[in-house]
Amino acid sequence: MPVGGLRAAVAFAPGPLPEPRDWCTLARPQAAAIGPSSGVEPDPAPSSPPVCAQDTPAPPPPAPKPQVPTTVKRAPIPAWQWERLWFLLLTVTFGLTLTWLYFWWEVHNDYDEFNWYLYNRMGYWSDWSVPILMTAATAFTYIAGLLVLALCHIAVGQQMNLHWLHKTRWRPLACPATPALPLPDGLVVILVSTVVAMSAMAQLWEDEWEVLLISLQGTAPFLHMGALAAVTRALLDRGRTVRPGRAMAILCTFSAVVFALYLAPLTISSPCIMEKKDLGPKPALIGHRGVPMLAPEHTLMSFRKALEHKLYGLQADVTISLDGVPFLMHDATLRRTTNVEAAFPELARRPASMLNWTVLQRLNAGQWFLKTDPFWTASSLSPADHREVQNQSICSLAELLALAKGNATLLLNLRDPPREHPYRASFLNITLEALLRSGFPQHQVMWLPNRQRPFVRRVAPGFQQTSGSKEEATSLHRGHIQWLNLRYTQVSRQELRDYASWNLSVNLYTVNTPWLFSLLWCMGVPSVTSDNAHTLSQVPSPLWIMPPDEYCLMWVTADLISFTLIVGIFVLQKWRLGGIRSYNPEQIMLNAAVHRTSRDVSIMKEKLIFSEISDGMEVSDELSVCSDNSYDTYATSATPPVDPRGTGSQTKTLTDRSGR
């Protein structure tokens, strides 16, 4: 009898059922009644007599199993959440690489300073600036391409689907039994490398980050216009595809961004936003060690090139030889700017001031310029200049004074010799004596050393006393200081005005790029020291200058155009979707082509809609397909073929419910 029939028989049998413990007792009398006397032939004896549960001892309880800690398996993170995380990382990496590329492009003015800094740390000269710039540009291009592709996917309603090659690269080890190891590649490598590079730059070259803020004074008005155009363009694209359910969140987010951009010009302060009549005279140019882009630094050829371009002055670093001859040298040793390692290897590490002038004259001071090409300008030299460079030697102070006498102002800085040098105490006096003996005009000497300044004023009262430290204007005025020689990142526009009110002139170093020169020109800087003075001397005016009224009109007009376009696209979107009060399958199908033009996305939506209809009909009779709502034919035509092995009953139920 089937189990169901047995349960039914027991359920409907008259009388109470015996207790479970009496089943064995009741079975014994029945077995005894069957025998010869009863006329009932017993069944053949079984191979083993039946044993009742009461006759057998209870089995021993099973040994307790050791408690194995169970691990709770968490539900896997959905793919769309991972895609959002990778998109966030991609956006952050794009911002960092853009900042790093912009920073490294703007510090082009100080590439030589950066290379010289690394030379002192590493002990050999190499141009590290260009490889770093190329690496930053390559990384930014790669990340920008990934971001553009991701935005294209999002614009058509698809996931980003960033390939794992751009996230993590899996490389198995040599042993097959060893699992594969994840090796970072693409996005992760660029993100980590950029963070490490920016952190290292912040520690090693901290002052250079101020260049980023200075550059924004010249580029902020144009960056603002570009950002406003980009955000407006993004809103126009997003406004055509946004869903009504998410319109409010997107509207609030973009409204905050656009509102901040609209008010950004209120925080922009550029010295080039000024009236043209208020523009001061062009800053005077001082050649930094001559013109080191056209000839080796601190050579007669370099200073002569500077005079040919009619520069205002020449800057030079003066030290003294072991036998008391002042000469020009910037570095402590001769390794970078001479051939001392080839001519006298045993003297390569010795300080330059610890050699006699006769030995110094035997060294070549021009071949290194052609070999290392520090400014990438050696290839532009004429054949005559190329031959002249190869024959340059170390220049003495007397030779410079004879060349520049009556032609240019000299900005002199003294490099003290080592403590064991025999002329360390009298170095300043020897230099002063050489200046006075040469007959060089005192008013054309800018004296930078700060020690023994009262003595220098007494011996040479015509010198223009110059300070290399930034102090209050009142303190400088009491010290009879006439010039300040500072780095271009150390002074602001307001401080320049304060110094000018005390009749103090400011010279800034080292200015090599036209954009920085134009910015300082608009600030009213009197003079600058430059390695690229021959180029800056040909700059006729600042790169751009704009009256405040014109700039105000420009950004207000741009804001109004952007606001009009944004409001128009949102009004158009609301009008297009205004008739849709609720989402149902028919409305989504009819509007699928409006929201997404992709054929694949439309097919995916239809499949999801029809699967939801089929699931609803299986669960409840209220959601069944009925002819009153005209959904029977719609569902029958949309239901995909089913597997007869597992869904035959489902097909039959649907057919019965529809009455067909």
Alpha-carbon distance of 405 to 439, in angstroms, equals: 8
Average pLDDT over residues 91-109: 93
Q: Specify the higher pLDDT residue, 385 or 658.
A: 385
Question: Which pLDDT band, with edges at 50, 70 and 90, does 79 fall under?
Answer: low
Pick from 329, 365, 333, 337: nearest CA to 346? 333
* Among 30, 54, 25, CA closest to 42: 30
3-class SS at 395?
coil
Mean pLDDT score, 571-588:
58
Q: Which of 183-187, 345-349, 595-599 has the highest mean pLDDT?
A: 345-349
Confidence of residue 422 (pLDDT cuts 50, 70, 90): very high
Lowest mean pLDDT among 74-83, 189-198, 612-621: 612-621
Strand 483-487 vs strand 464-467: parallel, antiparallel, or unpaired? parallel
Residues in the chain: 660
Both tokens assigned to 7: 């349960």
Q: What pLDDT does 186 receive? A: 75
Please tell me the distance from the alpha carbon of residue 164 to that of residue 179, in angstroms, as a whole number.
18
Q: What is the pLDDT of residues 519-534, one digit of tens each?
A: 999 999 999 999 999 9
Is the predicted pLDDT of residue 435 greater than 50, yes or no?
yes
DSSP-derived letter for residue 64 is: P
Query: 213-252: per-residue pLDDT in tens?
Result: 899 999 999 999 988 888 887 776 655 555 555 556 666 7
User: What confidence tier does 121 reach under pLDDT thresholds 50, 70, 90?
Assistant: confident
The pLDDT of residue 274 = 94
Q: What is the pLDDT of residue 70?
A: 56
**CB atoms near residue 317 (< 10 Å):** 18
Pick the residue with more confidence: 178 or 80? 80
- The whole-number pLDDT of residue 414 equals 96
pLDDT value for 607:
58
**Angle formed by the axes of helices 599-619 and 648-658, to 10°?**
80
Confidence at residue 342, expressed as pLDDT on a 0 to 100 scale: 94
Give a three-class secondary structure readout of 596-633: CCCHHHHHHHHHHHHHHHHHHHHHCHHHCCCCCCCCHH
pLDDT of residue 333: 94
Q: Which two tokens stand for residue 202?
A: 């912040």
Q: What was the pLDDT predicted at 51?
A: 47
Residues 339 and 360: beta-carbon distance below 8 Å: no
The DSSP bridge pattern shows strands 409-414 and 284-288 to be unpaired
CA distance 146 to 152: 10
Give the residue among 598, 631, 590, 593 at the shortest CA–CA distance from 612.
Answer: 631
Average pLDDT rounded to a whole number, residues 92-118: 92
Q: Name the pTM for this structure.
A: 0.73
pLDDT at 624 (0 to 100) = 40
CA atoms within 13 A on the CB side of 103: 21
For 150, 154, 233, 239, 298, the CA distances from 236, given in Å and listed in that order, are 18, 14, 5, 5, 59
- Between residues 578 and 544, which one has the greater pLDDT? 544
Tokens of 628: 């009153």
Percentage of the residues of the chain whose pLDDT score is greater than 90: 52
Q: Residue 575: pLDDT band by 50, 70, 90 thresholds?
A: confident
% pLDDT > 70, the chain: 68
Q: Which two tokens stand for residue 268?
A: 């922009």
Residue 564 has pLDDT above 50, yes or no: yes
Note the pLDDT of residue 365: 97
For residue 396, list its beta bridge partners: 327
Q: What is the mean pLDDT of residues 172-195?
A: 62
- In DSSP terms, 326 is beta-bridged to 320
Give the right CATH number for 284-536 from 3.40.50.880, 3.30.70.590, 3.20.20.190, 3.20.20.150: 3.20.20.190
Q: Please, how many CA atoms are within 13 Å of residue 84, restricted to the half-sphere of its CB?
A: 5
Domain map of the chain by residue range? 3-33, 79-267, 284-536, 583-658
pLDDT for 1 equals 45
Lowest mean pLDDT segment, chosen from 31-35, 282-286, 377-381, 455-459 = 31-35
Place of tokens 């406004």: 239
Q: Find the range with the poorest average confidence among 59-73, 272-286, 368-382, 459-473.
A: 59-73
pLDDT of 239: 52
614 pLDDT above the threshold of 70: no
Q: pLDDT digit string (tens) for 343-396? A: 999 999 999 999 999 999 999 999 999 999 999 999 999 999 999 999 999 999
User: What is the structure's pLDDT at 232?
Assistant: 82
Average pLDDT over residues 310-327: 97
Residue 640's pLDDT band (boundaries 50, 70, 90)? Answer: very low
Among the ranges given (227-231, 456-460, 542-546, 651-655), the one the predictor scored with the smallest mean pLDDT:
651-655
Q: Name which of 51-55, 297-301, 304-308, 645-649 the model is least confident about.
A: 645-649
Query: Residue 396 carries which DSSP code?
Result: B
Q: Band the pLDDT of 151: cuts 50, 70, 90.
A: confident
pLDDT, tens only, 580-592: 544 444 444 444 4
270-317 pLDDT tens trace: 999 999 999 999 999 999 999 999 999 999 999 999 999 999 999 999
Read off the pLDDT of residues 498-516 as tens digits, 9 standing for 90 and up: 999 999 999 999 999 999 9
